[in-house]
Chain A
């Protein structure tokens, strides 16, 4: 190399995580290769595959209430799942390096108990725990809990922010020489007095993940999260989101590298581009059965549409703006606008109900050969549309295997993904520093 040739800038390293799929129609349970969504070997398989692929972490969503439709329990999708922290504690026994992330609501838990359970997982895994902080919006879910119903949007986020701050006070409350210091937290939502029973873990304390896209969510992530789990899997939207969220960090004295942005993405691989497209179309058809298509329509229209033919045209009637068929799902803000858009699409392309739903709800982020997918993921990350990806396979438990076998080696060849774990904690995988001990009361000078 000549001494005058410029050194190319180092390539950004991609972070990868695996989401255990379930509980929505993207999971193709009718596939002959589909296994249990509950039995432990399914979780162990996906986690071991992710660890074989040198992923940063394994991610579990949370369910607190079965969804209902027309007043009855929703029966078309995978339903039912185990409790996250218990599954992850068990997975700590069958993995060595993989981070273990649990989604747990800040609305229906209390800081002391949850901080203790998370700290326990962090110790039992040798510093691999993460908490995906979510809030819960509805009184429907609240019916399973002591505190019952509902917090409005603003209160949910102030409660979540105070929850995380309180958990960190507890996690940070032991001195460097291993003594607990009493905490006395008095806030708007919580009063916590006493000593925490768990010392700091090998990674300081659990990694905090935030999922959500509202302005409140972005601000909360910028102030308090280590990782943000987004839905922006398109490059342009991804770059806008990335710039916005990273731009908010300085206000909290944080640097851009302190928060990793990871969209949830799907992938479909084929030996040729055409084969991958064909396979992707087949998966979308399986995700939207005739029954699923009518259900998706009813969720927009808010009325019973069971008399319609899924292979026929969309209804002429307008949605009922007060229709409340579905519970436990995010409400559609403007049903009439969505219905008009769907009808226009259906007319323009001559699509049936089922075809329209497939067209509008199919979310497949990376479709192509392994080479294509590796190149596009790399470009996505190098152009600051994300720091990495949370992969959501269509199939449980083997859906991640092809990615690890075929795409990971190509990312390694490109020099953008690790060839071995360099550390043993989740913070070390993410390149996050061990958090400083906050607070000075009783601390060492």
Chain B
């Protein structure tokens, strides 16, 4: 007999989809109210999208503002890797983990537009395959920087006068295709060891050597999936049906396995747009999610409400209780950190001596 499946993971996007016409919020109260609602519903985490050329506040600042106003909710801002400094990305996400006591993640994103490039004026826009390859390097060095302080590096030894044991703080000496980072981090290892890394992957999952694999789109899609398979704790897949989602899941796990990763350490969530007219829709959504989950299409779901302020209340009061009734969501929380919510172990520092 197989072990019982873990509860399905459930997350929601706090930002309205681009082009929805909703007014752009700049007030902290808006985000705090939504996050508290999500927390009341027992969701595992919220995401907040970001890009440099779209109206709105810096997502990671917003979720840092939300952190002390919430207690349990995982907080996952989008952080781009193309025009930013990998060192700064690493310290900002680590700090979000510190201020939220272990509830931080980040969704890796890239900038491919000329509009974004012009705001920085430092280098021209590059093709997606290229910036995604760089994003993978950034995810790699960011995790190394998180590991660069072993957990017990701070010793405060009065006898020897030493505040840290410097043998437990490590240079990372990372060389990527477009940057180098000497390290170590300036921020001690965050509470989760490594905050949770998310990558959103495109749904189409053709074999790498299939005809047409040389297309730009396929090359870049493959680059995204490589990054997810190599570095993500959670992959988000946009799919219209459980077959497509399930195929993407199988493919991602196969790639992760081929890279030598334990596939149990990569969760795949189906990312679905939702628009709920009322309680009946919310209950219907629960049924749909249960069916997809039963079909093995995903480890859980990332829901993207058309109007978060409206739809989130229906999700929390309608969909979540219906999932609980089916035994697919537990009533309490198993631990304090986002990794605990997701059932992902806390990784050891790669630099720690056995």
Contacts and interface: CB of A to CB of B under 8 A. Distances in A.
Interface in A81-118: 81-83, 85-87, 89-90, 92-94, 108-110, 112-113, 116-117
A325 interface: no
Interface in B32-73: 32, 52-58, 60-62, 64-69
Interface stretch (A265-273, A285-293, A300-308): A285-293
Given A73-B169, A146-B179, A194-B53, A113 B61 contact: no
B61 A85 contact: yes
Nearest to B123: A146
Contacts of B55: 180, 197-198
B291 interface: no
Chain B interface residue count: which class? 35 or more
A38 B188 contact: yes
B28 A124 contact: yes
| Among A79, A119, A124: residue with most chain B CB under 10 A | A124
B115 A194 contact: yes
B186 A81 contact: yes
B91 interface: yes
A75 B162 contact: yes
Given A78-B163, A146-B179, A89 B65 contact: yes
Chain A interface residue count: which class? 35 or more
A65 B182 CA distance: 9
Given A120-B62, A145-B87, A81 B187 contact: yes
B121 interface: yes
A90 B85 contact: no
Contacts, number: 178
A117 B163 contact: no
A90 B149 contact: no
A218 to B, nearest CB: 29
B4 interface: no
Contacts of B125: none
Interface stretch (A185-193, A241-249, A368-376, A434-442): A185-193
A3 B23 CA distance: 60
A146 B115 contact: no
Nearest to A121: B61
A250 interface: no
B57 A291 contact: no
Nearest to B84: A113
A76 interface: yes
Contact of A82 (B52, B60, B95, B154): B95
Nearest to B154: A80
A40 B83 contact: no
B163 A77 contact: yes
A66 interface: yes
Contacts of B115: 194
B95 A193 contact: no
Contact of B99 (A87, A113, A124, A180): A87
A87 B154 CA distance: 20
B92 A83 contact: yes
B95 A86 contact: yes
B199 interface: no
| Among B95, B100, B115, B156: residue with most chain A CB under 10 A | B95
A63 interface: yes
A146 B61 CA distance: 23
B19 to A, nearest CB: 15
B80 to A, nearest CB: 9
A64 B186 contact: yes
A232 interface: no
B188 A86 contact: no
A134 B88 CA distance: 16
27 contacts: A40-B98, A44-B68, A64-B87, A76-B163, A80-B154, A82-B99, A83-B88, A83-B186, A85-B61, A86-B96, A87-B64, A87-B99, A93-B28, A94-B68, A110-B120, A112-B52, A112-B119, A123-B57, A124-B61, A125-B28, A144-B182, A192-B121, A194-B119, A197-B54, A198-B55, A289-B161, A291-B162
Given A30-B156, A197-B53, A198-B26, 10 more contacts: A77-B163, A81-B187, A90-B65, A93-B32, A93-B68, A112-B119, A146-B178, A193-B121, A194-B115, A292-B161
Lowest 7 CB-CB distances: which A-B pairs, in order? A191-B121, A89-B64, A143-B182, A86-B95, A291-B161, A90-B99, A120-B58
Interface of B: 26-28, 32, 52-58, 60-62, 64-69, 83-88, 91-92, 94-96, 98-101, 115, 118-122, 149, 154, 156, 158, 160-166, 169, 178-184, 186-188
